[in-house]
Amino acid sequence: QKEVEQNSGPLSVPEGAIASLNCTYSDRVSQSFFWYRQYSGKSPELIMSIYSNGDKEDGRFTAQLNKASQYVSLLIRDSQPSDSATYLCAVTFAGGYNKLIFGAGTRLAVHP
């Protein structure tokens, strides 16, 4: 079992819809969670970090963390074609000094 799992997609949503991206992880002691966006041929760009259970909102983006169920999700409201990219989930294990593991990413396609 991979330590951080994401559906590879593509997740296709119409412009203006809500895109929901999910990430599950294997270790209950994980404490830091990150979402990055990566356009094709470019470097990862940080969207959001979340450290405690619940929701965290930043503009059109909302990260949701549920440590009991071991998943973190990213919602993108009012999706735009410019949101089309691969979204990477990253999780630290054992307090962050030991491991930071990235998922393989979910490709999002927003069509007009």
Partner 1 sequence: NAGVTQTPKFQVLKTGQSMTLQCAQDMNHNSMYWYRQDPGMGLRLIYYSASEGTTDKGEVPNGYNVSRLNKREFSLRLESAAPSQTSVYFCASSYGASLDYEQYFGPGTRLTVT
The interface region with partner 1, picked from 11-19, 63-71, 73-81, 92-100 by CB under 8 A, is: 92-100
Q: Tokens in use for 68?
A: 């009991």
Minimum gap (Å) between residue 69 Cβ and partner 1: 21
Using the rule CB under 8 A, is 50 a contact of partner 1? no
Q: Tokens in use for 49?
A: 């970090």
- At residue 16, what is the residue type? G
Using the rule CB under 8 A, is 95 a contact of partner 1? yes
Out of 15, 39, 54, 99, name the contact with partner 1 by CB under 8 A: 99
Instruction: Count H helices and E strands in the chain, helices first.
Output: 0, 11
